[in-house]
Structure 1
Amino acid sequence: MGSANTELYFVFMNYDPEYQRLRADQTKRGANQLDLYLSKKHDELLARTLEAGSYRKTLSLVIVDGFAVEITEDQANLLRSANGVRVVEKNQEVA
């Protein structure tokens, strides 16, 4: 069993043509639409995969289709098997 302690993980998503389309729009409106799209997409993934209130998403990454979230090791394993998720990696501190 994993630890009950939460740690920061980065979650990166599979190829998404809608993300690519929105990212190609270099206007301010396009950037706002991309931000909204990714935030909603990431929030919905977390809501359908993990128990409400058991995680804390800290940010959505626009340069790549991904986000940072504070979760347990067990929750990271659940996300690894979620549809649309490519990689889940624990944040590594560089000394």
Structure 2
Amino acid sequence: MGSEKSELYFVFMNYDPEYERLRSNRTKRGANELDLYLSRKHDELLAITLEPGSYKKTLSLVIVDGFAVEMTDDQANVLRSANGVRVVEKNQELA
């Protein structure tokens, strides 16, 4: 069984042509549209996959289609099998 302790994970998404299209628009407006698109996309994925209030998304990553989220090991395992998710990795502390 997994731990009930929340830890930080990074979630990276599969290829998304809309992300690529928005990312290619290098204007300030394009950057804002990309930020909004990714934030909404990541929030919706979490909302349909995990129990509301049981996780905390800390940021969406614009340079790659991904985000950081505080959640349990069990939740990470659930998210790994979600449609569109490429990889879920626990944050590693560097010594």
**TM-score computed with the length of structure 1 as normaliser:** 1.00
Please tell me the residue identity of whatever aligns with 1:54: S
CA distance in structure 1 between the partners assigned to 2:23 and 2:62 by the alignment = 8
**Corresponding position of 1:37:** 37
Q: Which runs of 5+ in 1 are unaligned?
A: none
State how many pairs are aligned. Answer: 95
Please tell me the residue identity of whatever aligns with 2:53: G
CA distance in structure 1 between the partners assigned to 2:5 and 2:51 by the alignment = 15
Q: Partner of 2:20: helix, strand, or coil?
A: helix
Percent of pairs identical after alignment?
83
Please tell me the residue identity of whatever aligns with 2:34: L
Within 5 Å, which residues of 2 pair with 1:7-18? Answer: 7-18=7-18
Deviations 1:59-83 (A, max 9, x none): 0000000000000000000000000
Please tell me the residue identity of whatever aligns with 1:61: L
Please tell me the residue identity of whatever aligns with 1:92: Q
Deviations 1:1-44 (A, max 9, x none): 10000000000000000000000000000000000000000000
Within 5 Å, which residues of 2 pair with 1:1-95? Answer: 1-95=1-95
**TM-score computed with the length of structure 2 as normaliser:** 1.00
Q: Which runs of 5+ in 2 are unaligned?
A: none
Please tell me the residue identity of whatever aligns with 2:86: R
CA RMSD across the alignment = 0.2
| Moved segments of 4+, more than 3 Å | none
Please tell me the residue identity of whatever aligns with 2:7: E
CA distance in structure 2 between the partners assigned to 1:26 and 1:62 by the alignment = 12
